[in-house]
C-alpha cells in the first residue's frame, strides 16, 4: 500500500471513530453528573465485527452510526490500524495492546464459512466454543490476560444463558509513564469544583514544565496535552473556561470539533499545570445509548439481520488511573503507626546531641541554640495534623538552607536569617564549617562512622554562578561546582547520595525530576552508624504491648536491658528523657517518653527549642535501671516547601520576589522545590541513620497572561489519544475525582 493510500485510510478511520466516540460520549453524559470512562475504539471495534455479519436495515443502521464513508472498507482500515496499536516499548515503559475474540455455542449455532474467514482475517478473533457449564470463566481469563488484570470478573456466573449463542469481544490495555512525571511529594489537597458546583478538597498534582495548550472557542474551553514517553500517545484535558461549564462544553461537542481541538497543537511553552489524581471505573450496558444513536434493528429479534440472532446485550467496562508517574497502576507506601514518643527522639539524634564538654563539643554548642530552635519549629510543622512516624535531619535541612542563605539578598536573606535563628553578628557559615570539620568520624575501634557532605550541581549552559558564591560555598561547605550530566542529570546526583549514605538512600531523584527550567541544585547528605556502648541482647527481645499515638495497643518487638542509664524528668513536657550512649561517648540517642500513654501530642505542643536544649543538657548520673525500647526502622520522604513557608520562608519560593543575586549573575531564579529523605534503623547492636536534603532552583517564569496557568480544578473531559493514527483510545469526564 502506498504511503498516500495508508494516510487516507488512517484519516478515514480517525474521522469515523471520532464522530462515533463523540456521539456516544454525549449519550453517556446525558441526564447525569457521573464520572465517565470508556474506550471509543473498543466499542467501535466490537460493533465493526457485528457490522461484518449484518445485512439489510441492521447493516444500514450500523454503517450510519459508525460513520462509515461511501466506498470505505472499514474492516480493511481497522486491520491496517491494529498492528500499529500493539506496542511494548521497554525503553519508554509503554504497553498498548488490543485483542478480539469470538466465543460461540457450537451445539446451537452454525457460523457461515465466509463470516468465520472474514472475522479471522480482519480481526484475528479465533473461534472458541463456550466451555459449558461455566463459559464465563474462560472469557474472564482472556479479558484478564489482555488487560493485565486491570479488569477482572468481567462476566458474572450465569451471564451466558442457554439462549446466548455468540459473544464478540474486544479488549484494550494501555500503560505508560509521562514524559515528565509529576512529583508525588508536591501533590497537595486543594479546592476542586465538581460538575454539580460543589467545592471539595482533592489531591492536585503540580508541575512547572513545557506544555502545549490550545484555546478552543467553539467549546469555550482550553485543551492541555500531557504526552507519554515515546511521543505517540497523549492524554488531553478539555477544561471549560468557567467552573461550571462542562455541561455546556458537552452540548457543543461534535466529532469534527473534537478532531480539530486535538490536532495541530501549538508549540509547548513553560506553564504551571495542576491536574487532579484520579481513578475511574465504569461498567455499563450500552444498549440504550446505542439505540439513541440509531442502532435499533440489531436489538429487535424480529428485525435483526445478523449471522446469529438479535443482539441481547452490549456490555462495556473501562478503568483509568492517573497518578503522578502517569502509569496505569500506582501504589503508595505503607505507613505503620508506631508510638511516636520515638519521633521526638529521632529528631534529637540527628541534632547531634552531646554529653561532654570537650573543645569539639563547645564548637558544636555555638550552633546549638540556632539548630535546636529551627529543628524544633520544623518538627512541629511536620507532626501537625497527622499521626505519622517522623524521621528527618534538622542539621541536614539547616545546612542546605544556610548554603541558600550564602547566595541570598534583600527580603529573601532576612527571612532566612530569622527562620534559621541566626544571632546578630554570628558568622553562621564559619560556625558550620568548624562543626563539619569535626563531624567527619571514622573510628574502627568504636565501630562509629559519621560523615556529612555538600554538593552543588548546575546547568552550565543556562546559568553563570558568581565567582564570590562559588568561592564561598567551596570554602565553607566544601561544595565544588559540578555541571549537570545531561541527558540524565539525576543519575550522577543519585550516585553521589548513595556514596555519602553508604546506599542507605538510593534513587533519591526519579528520572525526569530535573526539568528544563531547573538550573541549580544544592544538596546536603548525612550518614551515621554506631554501636551502643552496651548492646542489647537479641535473645531477650520479645513481642510486647505498645500503645500507638492513636491509642491502639499492638504487639511490637521490645528490646530490654539491665544497665546503668541516665534518665531525667522534664516537668515542662510532662515527660522523661532517657540517654542511650553509643561507643566513643560523643553521641547518644535520647528517647523523650511522655509520662502518660497518650501524652505525645500534648508534649509536642509544649516543645520549644529552649525546652529541648534544657531537656538534653546536664543529664544526671547514670544509675542501674531496667530499660525497654522497641526495635524500629523508619523512612520518610517529603517535600518541604509548605512546612518551610509555614516557618516564614516565603520570598525564596516566589518567582519575581526571590533574591539570589549573590548566587547567580543577574538573579532571576527562585527555589522551586525542597526535598528531604531520611531513614533510621534501631536494633540491638546500634543505629544506622541517613538523610539527604536538596534545594532546587529554577528560572523565573515570566507569565505574560493567565494562559500560562492551566489549573484543572473543576470538572473536565479527557481523551487518551493515539496521535500517530488519530484514534481516541479512551475518553471520559472527571465530574468528581473522588
Grid coordinates standing for 679? Answer: 531513614
Among 271, 262, 294, smallest CA distance to 211 is for 271
- The residues near 439 (Cβ < 8 Å, ≥ 6 apart) are 352, 450, 451, 452
In this model, does residue 668 exceed pLDDT 70?
Answer: yes
Q: What DSSP designation does 336 have?
A: -
Per-residue pLDDT at 382: 93
pLDDT more than 90, % of the chain:
67
In this model, does residue 172 exceed pLDDT 60?
Answer: yes
At 96 the three-state DSSP class reads: strand
What pLDDT, in 10s, does the model give residues 452-474? 999 999 998 888 899 999 999 99
Q: Roughly how many angstroms between the first and final C-alpha of the chain, as a whole number?
A: 48
Q: Are strands 315-322 and 278-285 parallel, antiparallel or unpaired?
A: antiparallel
Per-residue pLDDT at 127: 92
pLDDT band at 648 (very low <50, low <70, confident <90, very high): very high
3-state secondary structure 204-273: EEEEEEEEEEEEEHHHCEEEEEEEECCCCEEEEEEEECCCCCHHHHHHHCCHHHHHHHHCCCCCCEEEEE
Per-residue pLDDT at 307: 58
Contact in structure between 563 and 323 (CB atoms under 8 Å): no
Residue with cell 565544588: 480
Q: How many Cβ atoms sit within 10 Å of the Cβ of residue 685?
A: 13
Rounded average pLDDT over 515-527: 93
Distance CA 475, CA 687 (A): 31
What pLDDT, in 10s, does the model give residues 592-617? 999 999 999 999 999 988 899 888 88
What pLDDT, in 10s, does the model give residues 712-736? 899 999 899 988 888 888 899 999 9
Per-residue pLDDT at 333: 24
Distance CA 419, CA 361 (A): 24
In this model, does residue 683 exceed pLDDT 80?
Answer: yes
pLDDT band at 705 (very low <50, low <70, confident <90, very high): low
Among 622, 592, 617, smallest CA distance to 362 is for 617
pTM of the model: 0.61
pLDDT band at 515 (very low <50, low <70, confident <90, very high): confident
Domains and CATH numbers, the chain: 5-173+286-318 (3.30.497.10), 366-531+634-682 (3.30.497.10), 538-629+702-734 (2.30.39.10)
What pLDDT, in 10s, does the model give residues 353-402? 332 223 333 333 557 788 888 999 999 999 988 899 999 999 999 999 99
Q: What length does the chain have?
A: 738
Among 571, 618, 647, smallest CA distance to 373 is for 647
Count Cβ atoms within 10 A of the Cβ of residue 322 and give its class: 0-12 exposed, 13-18 middle, 19 or more buried: buried
pLDDT band at 3 (very low <50, low <70, confident <90, very high): very low
pLDDT band at 187 (very low <50, low <70, confident <90, very high): confident
Per-residue pLDDT at 151: 95
pLDDT band at 701 (very low <50, low <70, confident <90, very high): low
**The dihedral sign for the CA sequence 337, 339, 345, 349:** negative
Contact in structure between 693 and 674 (CB atoms under 8 Å): yes
Give Cα 236 to chain centroid, integer Å: 19
Distance CA 267, CA 210 (A): 9
Per-residue pLDDT at 133: 86
Please work out, in degrees rounded to the nearest 5, the angle formed at the alpha carbon of residue 735 by the alpha carbons of 730 and 738. 100
Distance CA 662, CA 468 (A): 8
Among 321, 316, 23, 274, smallest CA distance to 150 is for 321
In this model, does residue 637 exceed pLDDT 90?
Answer: yes
Rounded average pLDDT over 552-562: 94
Rounded average pLDDT over 61-89: 87
Distance CA 343, CA 586 (A): 21
Amino acid at each position: 500500500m502506498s504511503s498516500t493510500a495508508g494516510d487516507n485510510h488512517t484519516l478515514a478511520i480517525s474521522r469515523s471513530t471520532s464522530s462515533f466516540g463523540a456521539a456516544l460520549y454525549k449519550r453517556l453524559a446525558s441526564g447525569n453528573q457521573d464520572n465517565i470512562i470508556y474506550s471509543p475504539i473498543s466499542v467501535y471495534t466490537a460493533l465493526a465485527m457485528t457490522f461484518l455479519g449484518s445485512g439489510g436495515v441492521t447493516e444500514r443502521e450500523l454503517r450510519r452510526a459508525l460513520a462509515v464513508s461511501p466506498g470505505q472498507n472499514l474492516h480493511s482500515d481497522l486491520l491496517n490500524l491494529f498492528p500499529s496499536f500493539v506496542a511494548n516499548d521497554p525503553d519508554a515503559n509503554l504497553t498498548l495492546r488490543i485483542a478480539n475474540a469470538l466465543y460461540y455455542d457450537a451445539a446451537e449455532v452454525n457460523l457461515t464459512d465466509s463470516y468465520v474467514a472474514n472475522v479471522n482475517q480482519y480481526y484475528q478473533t479465533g473461534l472458541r466454543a463456550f466451555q459449558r457449564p461455566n463459559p464465563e470463566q474462560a472469557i474472564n481469563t482472556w479479558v484478564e490476560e489482555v488487560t493485565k488484570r486491570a479488569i477482572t470478573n468481567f462476566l458474572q456466573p450465569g451471564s451466558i444463558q442457554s439462549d446466548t449463542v455468540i459473544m464478540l469481544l474486544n479488549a484494550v490495555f494501555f500503560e505508560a509513564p509521562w514524559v515528565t512525571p509529576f512529583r508525588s511529594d508536591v501533590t497537595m489537597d486543594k479546592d476542586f469544583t465538581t460538575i454539580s458546583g460543589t467545592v471539595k478538597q482533592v489531591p492536585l498534582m503540580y508541575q512547572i514544565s513545557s506544555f502545549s495548550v490550545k484555546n478552543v472557542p467553539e467549546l469555550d474551553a482550553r485543551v492541555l496535552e500531557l504526552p507519554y514517553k515515546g511521543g505517540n500517545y497523549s492524554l488531553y484535558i478539555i477544561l471549560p473556561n468557567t467552573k461550571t461549564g462542562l455541561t455546556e462544553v458537552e452540548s457543543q461537542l461534535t466529532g469534527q470539533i473534537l478532531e480539530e481541538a486535538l490536532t495541530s497543537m501549538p508549540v509547548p511553552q513553560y506553564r504551571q499545570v495542576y491536574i487532579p489524581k484520579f481513578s475511574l471505573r465504569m461498567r455499563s450496558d450500552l444498549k440504550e445509548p446505542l439505540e439513541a444513536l440509531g442502532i435499533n434493528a440489531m436489538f429487535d429479534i424480529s428485525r435483526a439481520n445478523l449471522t446469529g440472532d438479535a443482539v441481547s446485550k452490549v456490555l462495556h467496562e473501562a478503568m483509568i488511573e492517573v497518578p503522578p508517574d502517569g502509569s496505569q497502576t500506582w501504589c503508595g507506601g505503607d505507613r505503620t503507626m508506631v508510638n511516636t514518643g520515638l519521633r521526638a527522639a529521632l529528631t534529637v539524634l540527628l541534632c547531634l546531641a552531646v554529653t561532654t564538654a570537650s573543645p569539639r563539643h563547645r564548637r558544636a554548642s555555638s550552633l546549638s541554640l540556632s539548630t535546636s530552635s529551627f529543628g524544633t519549629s520544623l518538627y512541629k510543622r511536620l507532626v501537625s495534623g497527622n499521626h505519622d512516624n517522623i524521621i528527618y535531619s534538622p542539621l541536614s535541612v539547616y545546612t542546605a538552607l544556610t548554603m541558600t542563605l550564602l547566595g541570598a539578598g534583600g527580603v529573601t536573606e532576612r527571612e532566612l536569617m530569622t527562620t534559621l535563628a541566626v544571632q546578630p553578628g554570628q558568622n553562621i557559615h564559619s560556625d558550620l564549617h568548624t562543626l563539619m570539620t569535626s563531624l567527619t568520624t571514622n573510628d574502627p575501634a568504636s565501630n562509629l562512622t559519621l560523615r556529612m557532605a555538600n554538593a552543588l550541581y548546575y546547568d552550565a549552559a543556562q546559568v553563570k554562578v558568581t565567582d564570590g558564591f562559588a568561592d564561598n560555598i567551596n570554602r565553607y561547605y566544601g561544595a565544588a561546582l559540578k555541571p549537570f550530566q545531561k541527558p540524565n542529570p539525576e543519575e550522577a546526583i543519585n550516585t553521589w547520595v548513595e556514596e555519602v549514605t553508604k546506599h542507605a538512600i538510593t534513587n533519591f531523584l526519579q528520572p525526569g525530576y530535573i526539568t528544563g527550567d531547573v538550573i541549580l541544585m544544592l544538596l546536603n547528605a548525612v550518614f551515621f552508624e554506631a554501636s551502643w556502648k552496651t548492646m542489647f541482647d537479641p535473645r531477650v527481645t520479645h513481642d510486647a504491648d505498645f500503645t500507638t499515638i492513636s491509642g491502639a495497643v499492638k504487639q511490637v518487638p521490645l528490646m530490654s536491658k539491665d544497665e546503668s542509664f541516665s534518665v531525667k524528668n522534664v516537668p515542662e513536657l510532662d515527660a522523661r528523657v532517657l540517654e542511650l550512649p553509643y561507643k566513643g561517648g560523643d553521641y547518644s540517642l535520647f528517647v523523650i517518653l511522655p509520662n502518660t500513654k497518650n501524652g505525645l501530642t500534648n508534649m509536642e505542643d509544649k516543645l520549644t527549642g529552649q525546652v529541648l536544649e534544657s531537656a538534653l543538657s546536664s543529664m544526671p548520673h547514670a544509675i542501674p535501671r531496667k530499660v525497654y525500647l522497641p526495635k524500629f526502622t523508619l523512612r520518610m520522604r517529603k517535600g518541604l516547601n509548605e512546612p518551610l513557608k509555614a516557618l516564614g520562608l516565603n520570598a525564596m519560593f516566589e518567582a519575581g520576589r526571590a533574591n539570589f543575586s549573590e548566587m547567580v549573575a543577574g538573579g532571576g531564579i527562585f527555589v522551586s522545590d525542597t526535598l528531604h529523605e531520611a531513614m533510621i534503623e534501631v536494633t540491638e547492636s546500634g543505629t544506622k541513620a541517613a538523610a539527604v536534603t536538596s534545594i532546587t532552583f529554577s528560572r523565573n517564569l515570566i507569565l505574560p497572561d493567565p494562559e500560562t496557568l492551566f489549573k484543572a480544578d473543576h470538572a473536565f473531559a479527557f481523551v487518551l489519544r493515539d496521535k500517530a493514527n488519530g484514534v481516541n483510545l479512551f475518553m471520559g469526564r472527571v465530574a468528581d475525582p473522588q
